[in-house]
Amino acid sequence: MPIQVGQDTTKTRKSLSVGDKTFSYYSIPAAEEAGLGEFSKLPAALKVVLENMLRFEDGKTVSVDDIKAFSDWGKNGGKNPVEIAYRPARVLMQDFTGVPAVVDLAAMRDGIVGLGGDAKKINPLVPVDLVIDHSVMIDEFGNPRAFQMNVDREYERNMERYQFLKWGQTAFENFRVVPPGTGICHQVNLEYLSKTVWSDKDQNGELVAYPDTLVGTDSHTTMVNGAAVLGWGVGGIEAEAAMLGQPISMLIPEVVGFKLTGAMTEGTTGTDLVLRVVEMLREKGVVGKFVEFYGEGLDNLPLAQRATIANMAPEYGATCGFFPIDDETLRYLTQTGRDKDTIALVEAYAKANGMWREPGYDPVYTDTLALDMSTVVPAISGPKRPQDHIDLDKAAANFAQYVRGQREGKDASENQEVRWEGEGGQPEPREIPGDEGHHKRGFVKTEGEGYQLHDGSIVIASITSCTNTSNPYVMIGAGLVARKARQLGLDRKPWVKTSLAPGSQVVTEYLEAAGLQEDLDAVGFNLVGYGCTTCIGNSGPLQAEISKAVNDHDLIATAVLSGNRNFEGRISPDVRANYLASPPLVVAYALAGDMNIDMANSPIAQTPDGKDVYLKDIWPTDAEIAELVEKVVTREAFQSKYADVFKGDEKWQAVDVSGGETYDWPPSSTYIQNPPYFQGMGPKAGDIKDIEGARVLAVLGDMITTDHISPAGSFKDTTPAGKYLIERQVPVREFNSYGSRRGNHEVMMRGTFANIRIKNEMLDGVEGGYTKGPDGEQTSIYDAAMAYQDQGTPLVIFGGEQYGAGSSRDWAAKGTALLGVKAVIAENFERIHRSNLVGMGVIPFEFTGGDTRTSLGLKGDETVSITGLEGDLKPLSEVPCTITYGDGSTKEITLKCRIDTAIEKEYVEHGGVLHYVLRDLAKS
């Protein structure tokens, strides 16, 4: 399908010859010559957005004034928050977020037929790639059969979803599916799908070159910014609108420049660097902003390391973390198998359009900060947030402090020795550094072994996630740690569940070529699958005896993973403390088996003959790593593994497909259900109404993530979602996860605000998805919401700072809306979740004047009325709110309405962005 470019009234369309082809392109230097402004000192990331304005300028959605606003941005010191309409070149999805997006498209086809329109109008207008990567779960591990057995179980659990996605591939144009077992969407995107500069024919049949840009339904879409591809995560709702031709409404962003100097020192990794960057940028405050990396340090930073930093933009809160095009970009594109014509176009285009990073590159930024990479030291982050950076030599003491905080004032006096009762001897209780009487201990007997578990026992060590498995330097490093450990006769501790889930098959190719997979296997890091496993909560069950010991004795078990997320309740329901670390450190921690060990200075294990082994004894040199990377990470490996990327294995090819233009919804399915969003929808929008007499569903604290709001992992039969499945004869073994059932709104409504670690401040010390119902008694949030809906009572949520941080999880907004919540009132919002709430017709509000949920003394028994919403509501207006307390007293406060743009107001009037698009398409 050709791209639809604008009218080019600015006459900035020029020609560029590369090899034997001539391309048209929209020239930023030509825009300067035409008198539209000064653009040469703009950051490269912002030039990509400016080019988008030039290409789609039509006098309506994009005007000449929008183009001139970028010049004013530079003159105003990197600030000019003008609303613009941005159109990405493509959309990337994964299956957790992709299934509900395709469900919505299928429902929209039903909806447009109901409005008298043509079902075929609901069809992606821009290319969409969906990579199935979130469904493999680690049931089997630590043996050669793990990969095949996990794949078999994946298909057993998810066949209904895979049949549905295959239907989508046949029903919709411009929609491709990368089958399971291929890799993680962001790594596949980085290594294969992206091109840095794209080319296609326009509506007149002329070949046009333009920057490769995208939005994705996963927050870590940002990873590809490491290859100078501007992309970020949006909710599935916003992505659906984009793929249906709706521009993304955004303000011209501020751009923070992050200057990198120096070079990494011996023994440090790209992971250590990114964890330091996350800490610095969270402290700086970059929510809603672009971050662009520059400085001479980039000359010492391979693209795989850049991609690691770009990947974790959601963790430091930025919209994206961008690296401009330079020689390293070209080297990476060559190594990963891109054709020579594409690489030549990238270089020629970037240099012609002012997007090439040259020595002395120093554009105008809104603000800057800097880091000398030689100061970075080995580190981990945890136990709850990615920005909680800890130098490795302080990690054990930090964990001891965390345990004290968990136990003091709660159950520090209960430091009982809990012994396994059964046959055989029991090990002696061991000294725990920093214990000070706060650690609990339990003993476990499994398969003839007796060992002690205590606070800090590492029960999960996982090399996982797109973040680090895309980086051959740390993956080869992990293999070398395993090799040196194996040579010393070391093995993982028996209570550690170990796993290796690479982001692409290329990783296996080069690990095997180096002979390192055999060494990883020897210490328990067998291949378990290709996909988002532990990082997304698909860590699978712990051994039954270990799980029992942890839960019976309330132990603070720990996990160490090479991922990007360690929020509460995300990794495993049995694990309270989660740490992010580099792949080599993950292997080392599996050998140690204990967070209480000072990994930097103390012995981490002993050889079979009793000799102490320190981390330095098994840590590879940078030269060893570089030599192997140069030898085994080859262009041919990438080309061979991506040759048939959309074909899949025999299992995928055998998946049956049925259905035509509209989907034949299976009434008995517990995975795929027709959502209620468009049922009974009329042809016209409504008006925004004041919120009168709303009750409080939850009062929540700071850093409430989308994992808290809509968890992705497993759930029990005692939860509302579990009861729903039990009623439909689904056995507990087949529950799968919330993430896998995102195509069924009945499950997801019941899972909203159901994270096992969420704390509703309306209740005293209660964890989990509970609140007070209309009768004042404690009940599940779902049951309370349904009771209020029966009464016709609107609901509100109160929150603290950084509400909605984390994944770009559209169900965090969808579930909120379906529970009957009309408004979320918080101190501030993370970018994606605020947008998602608006996209579902839920209005976000922020406190003003220093008010907070705590200063207002909210208990949850209040009634809330918000006025000033009817009539001519302006974006970012301040409106009055009346809080009536349980004793009858009232307080008037002012709220800032976070409907940020005029088009967002229209979305809310229509009941959501998809309703807006559907009515527009039906009308046309």
What are 185-232's pLDDT values in tens digits?
999 999 999 999 999 999 889 999 999 999 998 889 999 999 999 999
Class of 90-375 per CATH? alpha beta
Q: Judge contact between 123 and 174, C-beta under 8 A.
A: yes
Among 907, 699, 877, 712, smallest CA distance to 803 is for 699
pLDDT in tens, 339-360: 999 999 999 999 999 999 999 9
Confidence of residue 572 (pLDDT cuts 50, 70, 90): confident
CA–CA separation, 663 vs 642, rounded Å? Answer: 31
Superfamily of domain 691-923: Aconitase, domain 4 (3.20.19.10)
What's the pLDDT at 441? Answer: 60
Q: Distance between the two ends of the chain, CA-based, in angstroms?
A: 20
Stretch among 13-22, 80-89, 235-244, 711-720 having the lowest mean pLDDT: 235-244
pLDDT at 473 over 80: yes
The tokens describing 79, both together, are 């600030």
Q: Which of 60 and 510 is assigned the larger pLDDT?
A: 510
CA–CA separation, 146 vs 152, rounded Å? Answer: 10
Q: Which of 714 and 459 is assigned the larger pLDDT?
A: 459
Stretch among 78-92, 157-171, 428-442, 833-847 having the lowest mean pLDDT: 428-442
What's the pLDDT at 901? Answer: 86
CA–CA separation, 226 vs 365, rounded Å? Answer: 19
Alpha-carbon distance values, 700 to 225, 383, 838, 852 (Å)? 33, 20, 20, 11
What's the pLDDT at 440? Answer: 63
The tokens describing 524, both together, are 């328990």
Confidence of residue 439 (pLDDT cuts 50, 70, 90): low
Confidence of residue 249 (pLDDT cuts 50, 70, 90): confident
Q: Judge contact between 832 and 651, C-beta under 8 A.
A: no
What's the pLDDT at 421? Answer: 32
CA–CA separation, 378 vs 742, rounded Å? Answer: 38
pLDDT at 427 over 50: no
Q: Which of 607 and 733 is assigned the larger pLDDT?
A: 607
Averaged pLDDT, 695-717: 93
% of the chain at pLDDT higher than 90 = 72
Stretch among 440-454, 595-609, 632-646 having the lowest mean pLDDT: 440-454
291: which strand partners? 256, 321
The tokens describing 551, both together, are 């839960």
Torsion angle of C-alpha atoms 647, 196, 321, 50, degrees rounded to 10: -130
Averaged pLDDT, 400-416: 64
What's the pLDDT at 666? Answer: 87
% of the chain at pLDDT higher than 70 = 95
Confidence of residue 563 (pLDDT cuts 50, 70, 90): confident
Same fold, 379-616 and 691-923: no
Averaged pLDDT, 844-868: 96
pLDDT at 25 over 90: yes
Among 827, 833, 823, 836, smallest CA distance to 688 is for 823
pLDDT in tens, 312-340: 999 999 999 999 999 999 999 999 999 99
The tokens describing 669, both together, are 């399915």
Residues 6+ apart with CB under 8 A from 400: 432, 433, 434, 435, 436, 438, 596
**C-alpha triplet 464, 376, 332: angle, nearest 5°:** 55
DSSP 124-163: -SS-EEEE--S----SS-SSTTHHHHHHHHHHHHHHHHHH
CATH of 379-616 among 3.60.15.10, 3.20.20.70, 3.40.718.10, 3.30.499.10: 3.30.499.10
Confidence of residue 432 (pLDDT cuts 50, 70, 90): low
pLDDT in tens, 389-406: 999 999 999 999 999 888
Among 805, 804, 788, smallest CA distance to 796 is for 788
Three-class SS state of 545: helix
pLDDT at 414 over 60: no
What's the pLDDT at 831? Answer: 81
What's the pLDDT at 855? Answer: 96
Strands 458-463 and 497-500: parallel
pLDDT at 726 over 60: yes
Confidence of residue 430 (pLDDT cuts 50, 70, 90): very low
Q: What are the start-end ranges of the H helices in 295-454?
A: 303-311, 313-316, 327-335, 340-352, 395-407
Stretch among 369-383, 441-455, 808-822 having the lowest mean pLDDT: 441-455
Domain boundaries, the chain: 90-375, 379-616, 691-923
Q: Judge contact between 898 and 876, C-beta under 8 A.
A: yes
